[in-house]
Amino acid sequence: MSSSIEIVQDFIESKKAVFQGDLKQQSGFRITRRYSDLMDRFIRALFSAAGFSENFREIQDEGLAIMALGSYGRRELCYGSDVDLLVLHKGRLSPEMDRVIPKALYPLWDAKLEVGHSVLTVHECVRLAIQDFRFLTSILDARFLLGSRPFYRLFKEALRSKVDREKGSLLKQLLVHQEKRKERYSDEGYFIEPDIKEGPGGLRDIHMMSWIARIYFKSDHLYKIRRFPVFSHFRSDRLGYSKGFLFKVRNRLHLLTERKEDRLLIPLQQEISHYLGYKDSPLMTGAERFMRDIYQHLNRIRYGREEFFEKALDLIDPRPFEYINETLPPMFRVMKGKIVLEDDGLLKADPLLIIKGIVEANRRGLFLGSGFIWEASKIIRTNGKRLLNQAGSVDLFLDFILKPANPEIFRLSLEIGLLTLFIPEFKRIRNRVQFGFYHMETVDLHSLKTLEVLNRIGAGGYDNRWPLFKAIFKELEHPEWLYLAGLLHDIGKGYLGDHSVKGADLAPRILKRLAVEEEALEMIPFLIRHHLLLIHASQKRDLNDEKTSVQVAQTVKNPEILKHVFLLTIADSLATGPMASSDWKIMLIIELFFKVKHILERGVLASPDATNRIQEVKGRLCEHLKPHFPEESILSLLDQVSARYFVSVPLDVIMKHVHLALTMGTQRLAMVLEKLRDAPVTRVILCTYDKPGLFSKMVGVFTINNIKVLSANIFTLKNGLAFDVYEVTNPLDIYRESERWDKIQREILLALDDGLSLDNLVQQKRQTVFASHKDWSFWGKRVRLDNSVSDFFTVIEVSSGDRAGLLFELAKAIFSLDLDIRFAKVNGDREKMSGVFYICDAEGQKVYEEDQIKKIEAELMNVIK
C-alpha cells in the first residue's frame, strides 16, 4: 500500500497534468470534471491508506459516509477551489475511526488544498441545513464518496423530507440571501472587474436556479425543469454553454494567481484574453473582445436567472391579480407588480402587443410577467420582421424611447431584442466593453443610462445639488431630440474611426427609419458629433483664455443648441461613472457653459478691447486697495504685471495676489486658501519669488502630501515675483487640514531652497501610499504639441496610464528642456492620466522649430513609458 506522502506526490503531479493542457481548446466542464474525478481518487486513496476500509463493519452497521459538498459535490472543482467534505455518522464514532479520519484528512493540506470539513450526525446535519441557508445549498449538492451507501441514501431521504416540510421558511431565507448578494455586488467596481462566481450573472446564479429546481420542483438537474409546460421556453442549453465558458475563465484565473481568485481584475483580463486566443482587430483589442464575450455570458445568465425566478415564484407563491386605479387595455392585467396577458396566445395573434405592454409598463413603473417576457423574446427572435412591419409599430416604439421613465423596462427591451430590432446598429455596441474604471458599464448599457439620467434631470432629480440642470431642461424647445441624441450618442463605437463622427453619420438613417421629423435630422446628428465638445474644452483648455470659449461658441452657434449640448454632456458624464462626473469636472463644464452662453448672447464672437478691460480692472483695484495701501505702491506693482494676467484672472483673485504682494514684506512666500463651494477642491493663491522649476517643486510638495494638482496658472512679474493659482484636491484628513497646509507651506519653502529631496520623497510615496496593485501600462501613450489652441503658447497634450508622481516627473522634464509652464490642467483617474501644458521657450515665445518639437515629444515619451 502506498504511503500518504506518495499519494500526495502522485496527486500533485496528476493535478499538474490536468491543468498543463491547452485549456482554451477544452470544454470548461471537461476540465472541472477531470479534476473532480482526480480529487475523488485522491481522497479515497488517503482514506484507504489511513485504514478506513478496515473498519467495514462499523461503517455499515453503525452508519458512516464521506460526502463531497458544494462545488466538489457538483463535480465543478476549479484549480483553486475549496475542497469541502462532510463526515456523516449515526452514533458515536469509535476511537479507531476518530484516529482514521484526521489521518486521512491531514495530507490534503500537504497537497496545498483549501479544505473545509465537518463531522456531523444526521440530526445535526438536517437541523443545520434548515437553519443555515448556505449550509443547505452546500448539502443539496452533496455527493457520495465512500462509506455506507445505504446510510447515505437514508440521510438524503431524511433531508428531502425535512426540506419539503420547511419550504416556506426556506423561501424567505433564499430571498434574503439574494438581496444580500445583490447589495454586496452592486458596487460599480464589480461591473468593471466582475466576480464570475458570486457577482451578477456569475456561476452562483445558475446554482441558485438549480437549488430552486431541486427544492420546489424535484428536478435533480436544472435542464429537467423544462418538463413543466411553464418552463418550456427555458434555454438551459444556452445557460450551460455560458457556464462552461466561465469555468474555462475561472480555471485560468486560479492558475494565474495561484489561488481562488474569482474577480476578473483588469490586468488579468489582458492576460486571459491573450491566452484564450483573442486577437486585436481594427475595431477592438483582444481584451475588449474577450470582455464583450464575458458580459454576454454574464448577462445571459443574469437575465435567465431573473426570468426563471419570476416564473418560479409565480408557481411557488401564487397571488391573485391586482387591479390598479388607471384602466389598462383589456388584454392586460397586473399581477404582483407585473403586466401579464389575459391569454398567453394573444402575442402570437398580435405581436404589436409586445410594444404596447412595454409602453404600459414603462409608463406605470411596472415590469412584465415572465411568461410575457419568454413569449415576446421568442417572437422577436423568430418572427421579428412581422412586428417591425406592423402598422403603428414604429410610432409605438418611438413613444417608448421618448418617455424613458422606467430603467428596468428599457434594459428589458434590450435583452429581449426589441431595441436592436428597431435599431439594428445597436447590435454593434451590445456588451461592448469600455476598458477600465472610467466607464462603469458597457456601451449599450451606458447609452440606456444616459436616457435615464436625462429623464431624471427633467424630473428635477438633481435639484438638491444642481438645480441649473432642470432649469435649462425646461427651456428646451425640443427635449425629445435630447432623448434620441442620448440613446444614439455612442452608436459609432461599434465602427472604425472617431465614434462621434461615425455616430453622426449613422444617425440620419436611423432617425428616418423611426420617422423622426425633418428638423431633428440636422440637430440630433450635430449633438452626437459634438457630445464631447464641452468635456474636451473644459478639461483640456484654459477656461480663462477667452479663445477657448470663443472657439466653442463658433461651433455651437446659438444658445438653443448650446443648451442641448450642455445637457447631453452632463447626462453622458453622470452616466459614465464617478470619475467622469466629479464635482470639479461638472463645475468646469458649467463654467464653460456660462462663458459660451455670454458670448452667444452678446452676438459677437470676438473679445472686447483688451486695453479697456485692463484699465477697468486696474481702476477697480485701486479703488478697493487705496484705503489700505499708498496709491503709488499699488500702481508700481500693477506696472510689473503682464496684460495677459489682467485679461485671464478673475478680479477677486487679482485682488488677493496684489494684497499678498504688498503685505509679504521680507517673507519669501505668502498664500491664501479658498475652498471651492461646489467641489472638494482648494484654490491655492500663491505669491512668491520665481525660481527655476517652481511648478515642478510645487507639484512635488503636493504629491508627497497626498494632494493632486488639478490645474495651475502661473504668471511671472517683471520684478521677479510669481503670481500663481493652483486648484488642488483637499487634504485627506478633514479634521487636520490646517495642520496639513502649514506643513505644506513649510515644505514649499524648503523645496524652493533645494532643502527637500523631492525625487526621493516622491519615489517613497509611490511605493507606499500611492502604490497601486493596478498595472495601467496598456493604456495608449501620446505626446502632442499644438500651436493652434492658444495665441500665446504652445500646448503640450500628454496622455498615458496613471501612476503616482507622474505629473512631478513631467514637470521636471519640461523644465529640463528650458521651457516655462504657464498653465496646466491635469486629469488623473486611478487608471489613466491626461495633462495639458501651455508652455513657452526661454524668450517667452511659442515653439515652432520641428527639431525642437520632436525633441520635446521624445523626452516626454520617455517619461510616460
**322 has a pLDDT exceeding 60:** no
**274 has a pLDDT exceeding 60:** yes
Nearest to 541 by CA among 602, 598, 591, 594: 591
How far is the first Cα of the chain from the last one, in angstroms, to the nearest whole number? 59
Q: Which pLDDT tens digit goes with each residue over 215-249?
A: 999 888 888 888 888 788 788 888 999 999 999 99
* Cβ-Cβ contacts under 8 Å for 367 (sequence gap 6 or more): 337, 338, 339, 361, 408, 409, 412
Determine what percent of the chain is predicted with pLDDT higher than 70. Answer: 94
Q: What ranges do the domains of the chain cover?
A: 4-165, 190-306, 423-601, 682-864
Q: What is the mean pLDDT of residues 320-330?
A: 64
Reported confidence tier of residue 189, pLDDT bands at 50, 70, 90? low
Q: What is the mean pLDDT of residues 2-21?
A: 88
Reported confidence tier of residue 438, pLDDT bands at 50, 70, 90? low
Rounded Cα distance, 347 and 376, in Å:
7
Nearest to 600 by CA among 554, 546, 531, 542: 554
**Average pLDDT along the chain:** 88
Rounded Cα distance, 5 and 8, in Å:
5
pLDDT at 554: 93
Q: What is the mean pLDDT of residues 757-763?
A: 90
DSSP letters, 500-549, are: HHHHHHHHHHHHHHTT--TTHHHHHHHHHHTTTHHHHHHHHS-TTSHHHH
pLDDT at 319: 62
Q: Which pLDDT tens digit goes with each residue over 670-702?
A: 999 999 887 889 999 999 998 888 999 999 999
Q: Which pLDDT tens digit goes with each residue over 560-591?
A: 999 999 999 999 999 987 666 688 888 889 99
Rounded Cα distance, 705 and 736, in Å:
13
* 794 in Cβ contact with 785 (< 8 Å): yes
Nearest to 268 by CA among 257, 260, 279: 257
4-165: CATH topology: Beta Polymerase; domain 2 (3.30.460)
Reported confidence tier of residue 772, pLDDT bands at 50, 70, 90? very low
684, containing H or E segment: strand 681-689
In DSSP terms, which residues pair with 797 in a beta bridge?
A: 784, 836
Specify the 3-state DSSP secondary structure of 862.
Answer: helix
Nearest to 684 by CA among 696, 694, 670: 670
pLDDT at 773: 44
Q: Which pLDDT tens digit goes with each residue over 110-155?
A: 999 999 999 999 999 999 999 888 899 999 999 999 999 999 999 9
**262 has a pLDDT exceeding 90:** yes
pLDDT at 607: 52
Between 303 and 533, the more confident residue is 533
Determine what percent of the chain is predicted with pLDDT higher than 90. Answer: 54
Reported confidence tier of residue 321, pLDDT bands at 50, 70, 90? low
Q: What is the mean pLDDT of residues 715-741?
A: 90
Question: What dihedral angle (degrees, nearest 10) is formed by the CA atoms of 748, 749, 755, 759?
Answer: 10
**CB atoms near residue 813 (< 10 Å):** 17
* Cβ-Cβ contacts under 8 Å for 611 (sequence gap 6 or more): none
Cα dist from 179 to 173, 174, 213, 687, whole Å: 10, 9, 19, 56
Reported confidence tier of residue 771, pLDDT bands at 50, 70, 90? very low
Rounded Cα distance, 483 and 451, in Å:
6
Q: What is the mean pLDDT of residues 799-822?
A: 89
Range from 238-252, 297-311, 816-830 that averages highest in pLDDT:
238-252
pLDDT at 249: 94
* Cβ-Cβ contacts under 8 Å for 428 (sequence gap 6 or more): 491, 493, 494, 495
The DSSP output letter for 827 is: E
Q: What is the mean pLDDT of residues 329-354?
A: 85
**610 has a pLDDT exceeding 50:** yes
Sign of CA dihedral 579, 580, 581, 584: positive
If 0-12 CB within 10 Å is exposed, 13-18 middle and 19+ buried, where does residue 293 land? middle
Q: Which pLDDT tens digit goes with each residue over 445-504?
A: 999 999 999 999 999 999 988 999 999 999 999 999 999 999 999 999 999 889 999 999
Tally DSSP H helices, then E strands, for the chain.
38, 15
Reported confidence tier of residue 625, pLDDT bands at 50, 70, 90? confident
pLDDT at 326: 57
pLDDT at 833: 81
Q: Which amino acid is at 592?
A: L
CA 663-665-668 angle, to 5 degrees, is 110
**813 has a pLDDT exceeding 60:** yes
Q: What is the mean pLDDT of residues 327-334?
A: 84
pLDDT at 608: 54
Map grid coordinates 461591473 to a residue.
Answer: 191
Q: What is the mean pLDDT of residues 595-621?
A: 77
451, containing H or E segment: helix 443-458
Cα dist from 365 to 275, 358, 361, 404, 405, whole Å: 45, 10, 6, 10, 7
* Cβ-Cβ contacts under 8 Å for 187 (sequence gap 6 or more): none
Q: What is the mean pLDDT of residues 437-444?
A: 74
**635 has a pLDDT exceeding 70:** yes
Map grid coordinates 452514533 to a residue.
Answer: 91
pLDDT at 85: 96
